[in-house]
Amino acid sequence: KAGVTQTPRYLIKTRGQQVTLSCSPISGHRSVSWYQQTPGQGLQFLFEYFSETQRNKGNFPGRFSGRQFSNSRSEMNVSTLELGDSALYLCASSRFSGGEETQYFGPGTRLLVL
Amino acid sequence: AQSVTQLDSQVPVFEEAPVELRCNYSSSVSVYLFWYVQYPNQGLQLLLKYLSGSTLVKGINGFEAEFNKSQTSFHLRKPSVHISDTAEYFCAVSDDSSYKLIFGSGTRLLVRP
């Protein structure tokens, strides 16, 4: 079974631009979560989607948004990029939504904002 | 609110020696606990998890962890490490009311020959 895939793997943008990251979950998984990883703040939860509905959102500004499609694929968008948005963005999928569910992570998209 | 503390930012150890990576959590409700490993330039891989039942949990690559409710700890252990275990290890917590993992700051395990 194929794992979680994320595209693109690397991205360079400049301040003020916007970016869209894509995540394809493991086949049959209906929940997708997004995390931001930085050296300073560590791993922080962005949001979680289940059956196209956002179930939970982390403490990030409104510039960060996401959505999930009917095939469970998910995208996250960051508008008006800031230097501090440079990070590794990780997507994780699980069969269902819930604290006990094991989340399987993709390789991440490394975003550099110049 | 939940939180996870990994007190050791880096743990150096010689190959074939035992290792323990410490994790303490704070929560007012029953929790689920996870250990993930991250190799350079990769995502996170699940090592093991505690949902309920036996407090001693065995995972992949010879790792195990023990859930201690009274001490709110979930320390990760391996009796004999290999060079290939060099990586960053993250402890994480979730519960029934959340749909997210709360991660600790990570512990870098450095295995020396």
Nearest CA in chain B to A101: B99
pLDDT at A17 over 80: yes
Strands B87-94 and B73-78: unpaired
| Cβ contacts of A99 on chain B, cutoff 8 Å | 31-32, 94-99
Contact A58 B42 (CB under 8 A): no
Contact A21, A44 (CB under 8 A): no
Minimum CA–CA partner of B43 in chain A: A107
pLDDT by residue (tens digit) across B1-44? Answer: 789 999 999 999 999 999 999 999 998 788 899 999 999 888 99
Q: How far is A79 from chain B (nearest CA, A)?
A: 23
B2: its two tokens? 């939940």
Q: Does A15 touch chain B (CB under 8 A)?
A: no
% of chain A at pLDDT higher than 70: 100
Instruction: List pLDDT tens digits, range B36-67.
Output: 999 988 899 999 999 988 899 999 999 999 99
Q: Is B32:B88 a contact under the CB 8 Å cutoff?
A: no
Q: Is A45's CB within 8 Å of B102's CB?
A: yes
pLDDT of residue B31: 87
Question: Residue A76 contacts by C-beta under 8 Å, 6 or more apart in sequence?
Answer: A20, A21, A23, A34, A46, A47, A64, A65, A66, A89, A91
- Give the sign of the dihedral formed by CA B44, CA B94, CA B65, CA B103: positive
User: Which of A35, A90, A98 is nearest residue B99 as measured by Cβ atoms?
Assistant: A98
